[in-house]
Copies of this chain bind each other. A is one copy, B any other.
């Protein structure tokens, strides 16, 4: 099958709306995050090379480099979310007739549940970074593109909160309490006060429109 990122937008939306389990919210979140990163890059690209913004040139170059790396990572997560979900479904389909099979099946499911948690956690981390970068873009980027910095922060925030749900889902099924407590603690740390951060960036954008 053609990788999602090479498929037309209309196909992706049709598949998203359909009753097939993938792509679902996890892939949509990754695409939202990638859009957020792309919009940060757009602001940088509309700022870099203009004598008027020479003072922030080096910083914008740095932000652009980071935003492009995050965009690439998030774009790949669209597909990664589908892959790990399908893997999980295949493990749930393993035979469970004998005690030995039951043990093997359960262990296989537990392994993939961790992978299925790592994917949205990666999305959460990347989106938290996009939010930080959108702050710089909103404060120092070309004011003609500041609304794009505003769309960037809202896209990354929506993606982060959507991905968090996919971590919470798995939390209840993962038996390795050390692993899952670490994930939930990190999630708590990233999401605490994020609403205020996002709102403050949004207000910066509005003030510079």
Chain A residues with CB under 8 Å of chain B are 4-10, 12-14, 16-19, 21, 24-26, 28-29, 31-32, 34-35, 37-39, 41-42, 45-46, 67-68, 71, 75, 78, 145, 147-148, 150-152, 154-155, 157-159, 161-162, 165-166, 168-169, 172, 195, 202, 205-206, 209
Whether the Cβ atoms of A38 and B13 lie closer than 8 Å is yes
22 A-B residue pairs with CB within 8 Å: A5-B8, A5-B9, A8-B9, A9-B31, A13-B35, A13-B71, A16-B38, A16-B39, A17-B39, A17-B41, A18-B42, A19-B45, A24-B148, A24-B151, A25-B150, A25-B151, A28-B35, A32-B32, A150-B162, A151-B165, A158-B158, A195-B195
**Cα separation A123 to B24 with both chains bound (whole Å):** 22
Whether the Cβ atoms of A17 and B42 lie closer than 8 Å is yes
Q: Which residues of B lie under 8 Å from residue A151 when comparing CB positions?
A: 24-26, 28-29, 158, 162, 165
Interface centre among A21, A31, A42, A195 (most CB of B within 10 A): A42
Protomer copies: 2
The distance from the CB of A62 to the nearest CB of chain B, in whole angstroms, is 16
**Cα separation A8 to B78 with both chains bound (whole Å):** 13
The distance from the CB of A177 to the nearest CB of chain B, in whole angstroms, is 18
Question: Given A151-B28, A162-B150, A209-B169, are A10 and B6 neighbors across the interface (CB < 8 Å)?
Answer: yes
Question: Given A9-B6, A17-B38, A35-B32, are A202 and B154 neighbors across the interface (CB < 8 Å)?
Answer: no
Closest to A6 in B: B8
